A = this chain, B = another copy of it.
């Protein structure tokens, strides 16, 4: 196999990249942006080698502890549990939350053999020592809700308040395009103006 074909195949590990896109990317990297391509390859190698889970919150970082966990000004009394490191970026960008995080790297799914141990919830328990509110920000899927249930029991046992992100109509959303369950939820949880 020629080196070009090998590169085209290697690029197809990227999600959403098929044969045609891989070909386009290959010629872009080899003809239009060799310098950028070299930097990309080197950064990728370095990242794969150095980036690991933060020893406290399990997000991805090249240091033993991530920037948020290492920051003494973050409020240890609030812990927000998310499914993925990407969720932390989202929440940091959208909100002014100043507490700590914990990344599950998944959600409870007994049918796939993923229980509390697989999600390393014992590490979460360590974070809960100084905590008075556990904000459960898992997704609103069946597994996400199951995980939220489990976490709220865990919080209850430790005498900690558990909260869940609100469900409802997305901002800028037309009622016409909202699914029935979301609308029913938003209607039931209506707030006084």
Interface 0/1 of A8-47, CB less than 8 Å to B: 0011011110000101111111110110111111111111
A60 interfacial contact with B, CB 8 Å: yes
Per DSSP, chain A at the interface is: helix
Per the CB 8 Å criterion, the residue count for chain A at the interface is: 47
The answer on a CB contact under 8 Å between B36 and A13 is: yes
Tell me which of A27, A29, A48 has the highest count of chain B C-beta atoms within 10 A of its own C-beta.
A48
Q: Which of A41-67 contact B (CB under 8 A)?
A: 41-48, 50-51, 60-62, 67
A120 interfacial contact with B, CB 8 Å: no
The answer on a CB contact under 8 Å between B13 and A67 is: no
The interface of chain A, by Cβ under 8 A from chain B, is 2-4, 6-7, 10-11, 13-16, 21, 23-31, 33-34, 36-48, 50-51, 60-62, 67, 84-86, 89, 105
A–B pairs, 24, beta carbons within 8 Å: A2-B67, A3-B43, A3-B51, A4-B60, A4-B61, A6-B47, A7-B43, A10-B40, A10-B43, A10-B44, A13-B33, A13-B39, A15-B28, A26-B47, A27-B86, A29-B47, A29-B48, A30-B48, A31-B85, A38-B44, A38-B45, A40-B44, A41-B48, A45-B45
